[in-house]
Amino acid sequence: MKDFNGELVYITGGSSGIGLAAAKLLAGKGASVAIFARRKEVLDEALNEIATCRKSPDQKFLAFQMDVSSRDEVNSVLQKAAADFGIPDVLINCAGRARPGYFGDITYGQFDETIKIDLYGVWNTCSFLVPLMKQRGGCIVNVSSLCGFIGVFGYTDYCAAKFGVTGFSEALRSELKTYGITVSVMCPPDTDTPGYAEENRTKPPETQAVSATASIMKPEAVAAALLKGMEKGDFMIIPNADGKFTWIMKRLFPWLVEMVTDSQVKGVQKKLASAK
């Protein structure tokens, strides 16, 4: 079992939601934590919260302003972080966002931004840190989504990015095993975070109907599953039973998953048509 005590952890998106919950849990287990995100005031507030969870006075906590979608910015910020703080034992790529909408309403600009944040963001941090981490091994977790293995109505751009994260992680796992680096991908279900509240603002009715059939998790429970998955060295980390069931069904009976989601969508579209 992996022990986080004394380890150095980098978390992109560590200032909010799932990333922040993971940072607090890891601080409680004795890890030093560096968090990376764009908004300074949110980073500062998060850093204070994380520090209150510390186990020992030796632990260090730092925050860095960084946009994961900018390769140049990632390279320069991570260079500074590695010099000031050290090479991480654990990298958690949690920065990301979803802006659901009908395919016809998603502009090229939104698609481009989604891919840059949710997919290139993971590539950017890994491409800088993997060569450094190869020196002594470690652990990488890329946060994907249930949208990283199932195509969900209203998430064309987000599914494209998150399927990419899942595939990237699977290939990277295979390459890095020989260097003692464990690569995992986490696929959370709907989770009650500031990002999820923002996401709900643009969900088409069909997407809301599909979401309504699933349970919502607390970020702390998702973070606990993330740590447990890392401790066990699991590749695919799915935090709840519903998500695991969907994963199995999608692999074994994809036609059945399509049938169920199509009928949910059809039901909503019928209601909308009769209300007109």
Ligand X SMILES: NC(=O)c1ccc[n+]([C@@H]2O[C@H](COP(=O)([O-])OP(=O)(O)OC[C@H]3O[C@@H](n4cnc5c(N)ncnc54)[C@H](OP(=O)(O)O)[C@@H]3O)[C@@H](O)[C@H]2O)c1
Positions touching ligand X (CB under 6 A) are 12-13, 15-19, 37-39, 42, 66-69, 94-98, 117, 143, 145, 188, 190-191, 193-196
Residue with tokens 């991480």: 88
Q: How far is the CB of 248 from ligand X (least distance, A)?
A: 18
DSSP state of 217: B
> In the bound complex, which residue of the shown chain has the CB atom lying closest to ligand X?
17
Instruction: State the Cα torsion 22-73-87-85 to the nearest 10°.
Output: -80
Query: Can you tell me the distance from the alpha carbon of 127 to that of 130, in angstroms, rounded to the nearest whole number?
Result: 6
Burial of 175 (0-12, 13-18, 19+ CB in 10 A): exposed
Give 197 or 259: the residue with its C-beta nearer to ligand X: 197
Q: Is the dihedral of CA 116, 247, 16, 212 positive or negative?
A: positive
The active-site residue out of 162, 184, 196, 203 is 162
CB of 240 to ligand X, least distance (A): 11
Instruction: Look at the block and give the residue holding tokens 């919950």.
Output: 21
Identified catalytic residue from 32, 69, 144, 184: 144
Q: Please say which residue, 31 or 117, places its beta carbon nearer to ligand X.
A: 117
Find the distance separating the first CA and the last CA of the chain, reported in whole Å.
58
Q: What is the 3-state secondary structure (H, E, C) of 104-129?
A: HHCCHHHHHHHHHHHHHHHHHHHHHH
Judged by beta carbon, residue 33 or residue 143, the one nearer ligand X is: 143
Which is closer to ligand X, CB of 42 or CB of 62?
A: 42
Nearest distance from residue 260's CB to ligand X, in Å? 20
Least distance (Å) between residue 211 CB and ligand X: 9
15 is catalytic: no
Residue 271 token pair: 């209601």
Q: Which is nearer to ligand X, 166 or 193 (CB)?
A: 193
Active site residue 144: yes
Residue 24 annotated among the catalytic residues of the structure: no
Residue 35 Cβ vs ligand X, minimum distance, rounded to whole Å = 8
User: Could you give the CA distance from residue 35 to residue 19 in angstroms, rounded to a whole number?
Assistant: 9
Catalytic residues: 144, 158, 162
